[in-house]
C-alpha cells in the first residue's frame, strides 16, 4: 500500500450513501484522509474547518447541486484553486461541458472503475501540489526580487553618499593643498649672496614633504627640508605644525626670548619632544641648516634625513654624511650640530627619499651614485629632472619628491 501524507485530504460530496461508502473504503485504504458529505450545504460549512486537497463532487443532488456548489466555491479566493472532479452517472455532453465551465478539472462517470478513480485522484493531487510549489516559488522569487530591489536602492543611496563624501574629501584636500603650497617660500630667490630654488611634487593632493628658507637677520639665514612618514592629508598636517613651530621660534628670536631658531640641534630636539608629546603616531626626517653670512659657514643638524646632501664645488661633488634618528621617533633623542666652512662658489643640493623610487636600480649605492652624477650638472633643472627620471610628467609618483638647491657664486 502506498503511503500518502495526511495533508492529502479528500472531500466527497454525494447524496448516494453507497457511493460515499465505496469511495471512502477505496481511498482510505490508500492512506487518504476522507471527509464524506451527503449534501452540498454541509460541505460548505465543513470547508471553513478543514480545506481538502481535492473534491469529488456529484452533480445531481437535492438542494444545492454540484454545479451550484462549484460556482460558489470558485467565487471564494480561498477555495477557488481546489481541484474539483465531478461524479455523474449521466453521459451527456451538456453535463460534461457544464462541469468544466463551472471550474471542474475532471469528470468521472458512474459506475466507478477503481483504478481510474485512484489514478485521477493521485494525478490531480500531484498537479495541485506542483501548482502550489510553483506559486510558493513565485512568491519567494517576488520576495527575493523585492529584497534585491531594496538592497539595490540602499546600495545606490550608499554609493551616492560615498561619492558625496569623496567629493567633499577631495575638495577639502584641494583646499588643504592650496593652503600648504601657500606656505612654501617664493622660488628662485636670493638671500644675500645665496640663491635658493626648489621643486616639490606630491604623490597625492597634499604632500608629506616640505621645504622652507628665510632670512633671519643680517647675520643668519635658515633653511630646512622635511619628509613626514606616510602620505596625504595626515602627513601634510604635520608640516603645518612644523611651519607653526618654526614661526614661533622666529618670533621668539626677534622678541629676544630665545635663540633656538639659529641653533639647529636645539630646534630639532625641541620639535622631537613636541611630536612625542602630541602622540600623532608620526615622525619626520629633517635637515635644518643655518647659513652664517659673514663667515660663509653652514651650521646644521640632521634629523634622520636621507639621502644626505650633496655639495658641488671646484669641479667635484661630495656627500655631507651625518647619520641620526628621525624627529619624533624617540623622545630621548638628542641632536648635534655640525659646522662647516663653505667654498666661495658652490651648489648644495638636498633630496627627499622619494627621488630614490625613480631609479630602476634597487641598490642604494647605485642610486646615490646616480644622484651624484646628476648634481654634477651646473645647468640642472630640478623639476625637469623629476620628469626625466619618472619617464613621463603625467605618471603618478609613488612618493612625494622634493629637491632643494642652495648656491653661491658662478658655480
Q: What is the pLDDT of residues 110-119, one digit of tens each?
A: 888 889 999 9
Instruction: Report d(CA 369, CA 212) in Å as an integer.
Output: 27
In the chain, what are the domains? 9-136 (3.40.50.2300), 184-408 (3.60.40.10)
Residues 374-407 have pLDDT tens digits of 887 777 777 677 666 665 555 556 667 889 999 9
E runs forming strands in 192-278: 194-201, 209-215, 220-228
E runs forming strands in 151-293: 189-191, 194-201, 209-215, 220-228, 284-292
Return the higher-pLDDT residue of 58 and 200.
58
Place of cell 513565485: 138
Residues 290-313 have pLDDT tens digits of 999 999 999 999 999 999 999 999
177 neighbors 184 (Cβ within 8 angstroms): no
Residues 170-211 have pLDDT tens digits of 665 565 566 667 888 999 999 999 999 998 877 665 567 889
Instruction: Report d(CA 398, CA 61) in Å as an integer.
Output: 92
Q: What mean pLDDT, rounded, does the chain reach?
A: 86
Q: Is the pLDDT of residue 76 over 80?
A: yes
Q: At what angle do helices 114-183 and 17-28 cross, to 10 degrees?
A: 60
**160-175: burial string, b at 16+ Cβ within 10 Å, e else:** eeeeeeeeeeeeebee
Q: What is the pTM of this model?
A: 0.60
Sequence-separated (6 or more) residues with CB below 8 Å from residue 310? 317, 318, 319, 320, 348, 349, 350, 371, 372, 375
Amino acid at each position: 500500500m502506498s503511503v500518502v501524507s495526511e495533508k492529502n485530504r479528500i472531500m466527497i460530496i454525494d447524496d448516494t450513501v453507497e457511493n460515499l461508502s465505496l469511495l471512502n473504503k477505496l481511498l482510505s485504504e490508500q492512506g487518504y484522509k476522507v471527509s464524506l458529505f451527503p449534501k452540498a450545504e454541509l460541505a460548505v460549512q465543513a470547508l471553513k474547518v478543514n480545506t481538502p486537497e481535492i473534491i469529488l463532487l456529484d452533480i445531481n443532488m437535492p438542494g444545492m447541486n454540484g454545479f451550484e456548489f462549484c460556482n460558489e466555491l470558485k467565487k471564494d479566493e480561498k477555495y477557488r484553486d481546489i481541484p474539483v472532479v465531478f461524479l455523474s452517472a449521466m453521459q451527456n455532453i451538456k453535463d460534461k461541458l457544464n462541469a468544466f465551465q463551472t471550474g471542474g478539472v475532471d469528470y468521472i462517470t458512474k459506475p466507478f472503475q477503481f483504478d481510474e478513480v485512484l489514478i485521477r485522484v493521485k494525478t490531480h493531487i500531484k498537479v495541485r501540489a506542483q501548482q502550489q510549489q510553483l506559486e510558493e516559488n513565485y512568491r519567494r522569487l517576488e520576495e527575493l526580487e523585492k529584497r534585491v530591489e531594496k538592497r539595490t536602492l540602499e546600495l545606490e543611496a550608499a554609493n551616492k553618499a560615498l561619492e558625496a563624501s569623496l567629493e567633499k574629501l577631495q575638495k577639502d584636500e584641494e583646499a588643504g593643498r592650496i593652503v600648504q603650497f601657500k606656505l612654501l617660500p617664493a622660488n628662485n630667490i636670493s638671500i644675500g649672496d645665496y640663491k635658493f630654488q626648489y621643486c616639490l611634487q606630491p604623490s597625492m593632493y597634499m604632500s608629506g614633504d616640505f621645504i622652507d628658507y628665510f632670512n633671519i637677520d643680517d647675520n643668519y639665514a635658515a633653511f630646512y627640508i622635511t619628509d613626514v612618514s606616510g602620505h596625504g592629508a595626515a602627513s601634510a598636517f604635520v608640516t603645518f605644525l612644523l611651519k607653526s613651530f618654526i614661526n614661533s621660534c622666529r618670533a621668539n628670536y626677534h622678541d629676544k626670548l630665545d635663540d633656538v631658531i639659529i641653533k639647529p640641534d636645539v630646534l630639532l630636539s625641541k620639535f622631537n619632544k613636541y611630536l612625542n608629546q602630541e602622540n600623532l603616531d608620526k615622525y619626520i626626517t629633517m635637515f635644518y641648516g643655518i647659513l652664517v653670512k659673514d663667515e660663509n659657514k653652514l651650521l646644521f643638524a640632521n634629523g634622520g634625513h636621507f639621502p644626505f646632501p650633496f655639495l658641488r664645488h671646484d669641479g667635484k661633488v661630495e656627500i655631507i654624511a651625518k647619520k641620526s634618528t628621525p624627529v619624533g621617533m624617540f623622545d630621548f633623542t638628542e641632536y648635534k650640530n655640525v659646522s662647516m666652512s663653505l667654498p666661495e662658489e658652490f651648489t648644495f643640493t638636498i633630496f627627499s627619499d622619494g627621488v630614490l623610487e625613480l631609479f630602476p636600480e634597487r641598490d642604494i649605492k647605485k642610486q646615490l651614485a646616480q644622484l651624484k652624477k646628476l648634481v654634477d650638472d651646473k645647468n640642472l633643472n630640478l623639476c625637469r629632472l623629476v620628469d626625466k627620471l619618472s619617464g613621463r610628467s603625467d605618471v603618478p609618483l609613488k612618493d612625494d619628491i622634493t629637491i632643494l638647491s642652495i648656491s653661491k657664486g658662478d658655480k
